[in-house]
Amino acid sequence: MSEATNDSKAGQPRAHSAEFFNEMRDYWWNADFLHLMAERLDFAGVSSVLDVGCGVGHWTFALAGVLPRATRFNGVDREEEWVRKATQRMNDAGLSDRFEFARGDAMSLPFPDNTFDLTTCQTVLIHVGDPKGAIREMMRVTRPGGMVLAVEPCNMASMGVFSSVTDTFPTEVVAATHRFHLVCQRGKRTLGLGFNSVGDLVPGMMAELGLRDLRVYMSDRATPMFPPYDRAHQRAEARQWKDWHAREHWVWDKATTRQYFLAGGGGPDEFETLWTQAGRQMELEIAAIEAGTYHCGNAHITYLVAGRKV
């Protein structure tokens, strides 16, 4: 799950996550890290998995590589388009006998109590108005002794990462960009559409809900950009930036960003100033890539938070 956007060719909102279910998501995980997590979290005994807000199956597919071959997977998503594409993805991979995808809501999962050994989600709670309630629902369908695993980011942290372009920006410009993002995050949350940095709060939520043996890790994956940009993820990221800039897309499209900014307490004139500034930053970064001078460590904070149901 991710943001719904309003910049489709037909002028209608695109499906939830349309901007983010792209090729960049194929580079979110290091395979050896996932194998390490499988060992740490004792995935060897897992025979049934539910992926909540599965999208087109990126997280499901990643988990399939580190879970026992006999493990069966279910995935639910509220968007019919993603259910169809996830099903096709598994069919193409020859894995259709182990996977089943269906429409479903994270707040009311279409499964009985105590069904799955592992119930998990990836970047879903950031889009839920009641993330604690969503975790509670994940617990409901998890069998006693089973595990709830949430993979959620602190997206605000990414705004503090410097590049060869922003490293030279005046302090007030950097601070304004941070404020822009923070006000938008607060506005999105005010509108009941989720908190983009909810990963920071998930461990406490799980503890309050009674999950035990809590484990908190962070992904070891960075997506560094440096010349000659010849790695697959670098080429994909450059293409994504150019596409977003051509369509006036920042973290969200302009209309959505304005909605969040105003809901977060920002003003319309300030929004236009900050939106123009964000667009100018992207222009400079794309120009630097084309000139072969851009570089950035591109770190991200992505938590993996796991707890066992008593």
Q: What is the pLDDT of residues 8-41, one digit of tens each?
A: 444 444 455 555 545 677 889 999 999 999 999 9
Q: What is the pLDDT, as a whole number, of residue 20?
A: 52
- Per residue in 36-76, pLDDT (tens digit) is 999 999 999 999 999 999 999 999 999 999 999 999 999 99
d(CA 170, CA 163): 13
Looking at residue 48, its amino acid is: S
Q: Return the pLDDT at 14.
A: 47
pLDDT at 107 over 80: yes
What pLDDT band is residue 269 in, cutting at 50, 70 and 90?
Answer: very high
Q: What pLDDT, on the 0 to 100 scale, is given for residue 297?
A: 97
**In this predicted structure, what is the pLDDT of residue 96?**
78
Q: Could you state, in order of their start, the residue ranges of all structural domains in the chain? A: 1-154+197-222+299-310, 156-192+225-294
Which of the four pLDDT bands, split at 50, 70 and 90, describes residue 306? very high
Q: pLDDT tens digit string along 166-194? A: 999 999 999 999 999 999 999 999 999 99
Please check whether residue 96 is in contact with residue 116, taking contact to mean a CB–CB distance below 8 angstroms: no
Q: pTM score, two decimals?
A: 0.91
Q: Which amino acid is at 259?
A: Q
Return the exposure string of 114-152: e unless at least 16 CB atoms fall within 10 Å of the residue's CB, then b: ebbbbbbbbbbbbbbeebbebbbbbbbbbeeebbbbbbb
Per-residue pLDDT at 27: 85
Q: Tens of pLDDT along 130-168?
A: 999 999 999 999 999 999 999 999 999 999 999 999 999
pLDDT, residue 19, reads 52
Identify whether 68 is preceded by a cis peptide bond (ω within 30 of 0): no
Position 5 confidence tier, pLDDT thresholds 50, 70, 90: very low
Band of residue 284 on the pLDDT scale cut at 50, 70, 90 = very high
C-alpha–C-alpha distance, residues 144 and 71, integer Å: 18
CATH homologous superfamily of 1-154+197-222+299-310: Vaccinia Virus protein VP39 (3.40.50.150)
